[in-house]
Amino acid sequence: MTQLALVIDLNVCVGCHACVTSCKEWNSYGEAGPMTDFNTRGANPTGTFFNRVQTYEVGEYPITETVHFPKSCLHCEEPPCVPVCPTGASYKRKEDGIVLVDYDKCIGCKYCSWACPYGAREIDEKQKVMKKCTLCVDRIHDESLPESERKPACVMACPTSARLFGDVHDPHSEVSMAIRESGGYQLMPEWGTRPANHYLPRRKVRMTIHKDELQRADNPLKKEGELPALPADAQTLDEISSW
């Protein structure tokens, strides 16, 4: 069975939030929208987001690192949000494994948000229904788009290609190979939810630069030779300019 998912490479995510803004833009005006915001310029802004990036420091000063951690619905293969839904609004699609919410059935009881161990669900304060990442289901199956653009908006927007998208059940897919080759892992597998989304771990890179590698072949000083020394009483730029 096909299981579409995201694979996020934490080693190259720079926390630019391009995925957050592109997700918000696409889904605000698509089938999943609107994604409302209130008091956006006030002290206590609220809003609905399908994708958020958490940034925090690890280690102890002076040896610290900044980690950017994008998080959204993980489209679990055993989603705990589905069986607790009293109206059947939360469901998992058989054809592609995407977990969705039927807004016409949702009564905003929040049972799904309590069942989700990843905090992936948010209530829309205007519509009073639960919302979450749809993997841009209205985009990835849109045959009017070029095949190369049938990907979630966050994947298309990522400037560092930190996000991959595909079928994690296909052993030959780009995402499956990335998981195998880079040690991809699931978030909190001990919960038994079998998240479809995976993360690729941050990798330690040790680089040694040899002295001869610092010699630039195109160094302009080498081409022009040594610059002539200025006389001791020569005026400086500050002295001859008007600013």
pLDDT in 10s for each residue of the chain, 243 residues: 899 999 999 999 999 999 999 999 999 988 888 899 998 888 888 999 999 999 988 888 888 888 999 999 999 999 999 999 999 999 999 999 999 999 999 999 999 999 999 999 999 999 999 999 999 999 999 999 999 999 999 999 999 999 999 999 999 999 999 999 999 999 999 999 999 999 999 887 766 777 777 666 666 656 666 666 767 777 665 666 544
Distances (CA, A) of 45 to 41, 72, 113: 7, 20, 20
Residues 6+ apart with CB under 8 A from 184: 7, 178, 198, 199, 200, 201
> What is the distance of C-alpha 13 from the center of its chain?
7
* Burial state string for 198-219 with b = 16 or more CB within 10 A and e = fewer than 16: bbbeeeeeeeeeeeeeeeeeee
Task: Decide: 154 and 19 in contact? Cβ < 8 Å.
Answer: yes
92, two tokens:
């998992």
Which pairs from 83-92 meet CB under 8 Å and 24+ separation? Answer: 84/111, 84/112, 84/114, 84/115, 85/111, 85/112, 86/111, 89/129, 89/130, 90/130
- CA-angle at 90, arms to 27 and 155, nearest 5°: 35
What is residue 65's predicted lDDT score, i.e. its pLDDT?
A: 84
What is residue 202's predicted lDDT score, i.e. its pLDDT?
A: 87
Please tell me the pTM assigned to this model. 0.81
Whole-number Å distance between alpha carbons of 139 and 30? 9
62, two tokens:
């002076």
What is residue 232's predicted lDDT score, i.e. its pLDDT?
A: 73
- CA-angle at 122, arms to 149 and 52, nearest 5°: 50
| DSSP 8-state assignment for residue 29 | S
What is residue 242's predicted lDDT score, i.e. its pLDDT?
A: 47
Residues 6+ apart with CB under 8 A from 164: 6, 7, 8, 9, 155, 174, 175, 178
87, two tokens:
């109206």
